[in-house]
Amino acid sequence: MTATPLPGKPVADTLLSAVTERVRALPRPPRLALVRVGEDPASVSYVRSKDKKAGQVGIESEVHALPEDTSQEALLALIARLNADPGVSGILVQLPLPAQIDEAAVLLAVDPAKDVDGFHPYNVAQMWAGRARLNPCTPAGILELLDFYHVPVAGQRAVVVGRSEIVGRPMAALLLGRDATVTVAHSRTADLGAVTREADILVVAVGRPQFITPEMVKPGATVIDVGINRIEIGGQARMVGDVHPGVAEVAGGLTPVPGGVGLMTVAQLMANTVTAAELLARAE
């Protein structure tokens, strides 16, 4: 058995095409505020890609690049100004933040109606209640990918490896909302392989390169690899996922790294930005 590749590009392209049409239907273009503190190379790259993608679908974007030594008070003051600006549809604060800033306080400060990352406690509570309009981008993008490739979710056994607030926990909530039977596991789960082998859908977001090996996967399972790890192989830097490439010989479907879930995350951010703009337009 060789797994069917589940690339993110065709799914993201379909979602972004729909986003472009929704932008055109609005009375004015949405505006996305991207806030970055410091010069972390990964953060710089992520913000640049989000800014570029916004322009491609007709969303206006503005990048607020603050110095590394920015105080928490200064960052909160910026967020307050963006919250109060009626022209701003969505606000994204790129994580991680420098040590002097309390991330929880910053996420709490963002207006839930403009929280296009879906991290505000109000939106998290709405997600668990099945009523959220702004869900975290990576888990929501994974659901889009499963739907695009006609992977059944209702009634399936789903295992999520990883318990982060960004991917693991919200992924479990969204799968539960689609009537899957969900187990959340992690690197300290006893006999992890026995748990993962039960999964019809296996979502791996544990942050360890090639952590899930072939013997840990149920034959025919759909495996979603969220990991992005940069390692050196044979003297060359390579990007690999949390899933060992040998899993392709066991699974029924497997997302590639790169070219898989990462593309869905950015596409879903654009969709969330338009959703926020639509909701704000209705409230006017």
- Kindly report, residue by residue over 143-163, the tens digit of the pLDDT: 999 999 999 999 999 999 999
Supply the pLDDT for residue 1. Answer: 65
- pLDDT of 42 higher than 90: no
Same-domain check for residues 74 and 167: no
CA gap 222, 250 in Å, rounded: 10
CB atoms within 10 A of CB 194: 11
280 within domain boundaries: no
- Secondary structure element (H or E) that encloses residue 13, with its range: helix 9-25
Is 77 a member of any domain?
yes
Q: What is the CATH number of the domain that holds 83?
A: 3.40.50.10860
Say which of 53, 94, 156, 242 is annotated catalytic.
Answer: 94
239-278 confidence digits (pLDDT tens): 899 999 999 999 999 999 999 999 999 999 999 999 999 9
- Asked if residue 11 is part of any domain, the answer here is no
140 and 108 within one domain: no
pLDDT band at 236 (very low <50, low <70, confident <90, very high): confident
Cite the DSSP H helix spans in 98-235: 103-109, 121-128, 137-148, 168-177, 192-196
Share of the chain above pLDDT 90, in %: 92
Q: How confident is the model at residue 235 (pLDDT cuts 50, 70, 90)?
A: confident
Do the beta carbons of residue 199 and residue 181 sit within 8 Å? Answer: no
Q: Final residue of a domain: which of 112, 127, 157?
A: 112
In a domain, residue 121? The reply is: no
Note the pLDDT of residue 232: 78
Exactly one of 50, 53, 114, 218 is catalytic; which is it? 50
| Average pLDDT rounded to a whole number, residues 26-38 | 97
Q: State yes or no: pLDDT of 233 exceeds 80.
A: no
Domain residue limits at 60: 29-112
pLDDT, tens only, 81-140: 999 999 999 999 999 999 999 999 999 999 999 999 999 999 999 999 999 999 999 999
Report residue 125: phi and psi, to 5°. -65, -40
* Residue tagged 């209640």 (tokens): 129
Count: domains in the chain: 2
Question: Three-state SS for 93?
Answer: strand
Q: Does residue 210 have a pLDDT over 70?
A: yes
Task: Answer yes or no: is 8 a known binding residue.
Answer: no
Tell me if 228 is assigned to a ligand binding site: yes
Tokens of 246: 């040998």
Q: Any known ligand binding at 178?
A: no
Q: Specify whether 98 is located in the same domain as 194.
A: no
- Sign, CA dihedral 124-125-128-131, equals negative
Spatial separation of the C-alpha atoms in residues 69 and 52, rounded to whole Å: 26
114 is catalytic: no
Catalytic residue check, 126: no
For 262, which DSSP code? H
Could you say which of 111, 114, 115, 117 is catalytic? Answer: 117
164 annotated to a ligand binding site: yes
13 in active site: no
DSSP letters, 182-196, are: EEEE-TT-TTHHHHH
CATH of the domain at 155: 3.40.50.720
Residue with the larger pLDDT of the pair 197 and 187? 197
Q: At what angle do helices 261-283 and 137-148 cross, to 10 degrees?
A: 110
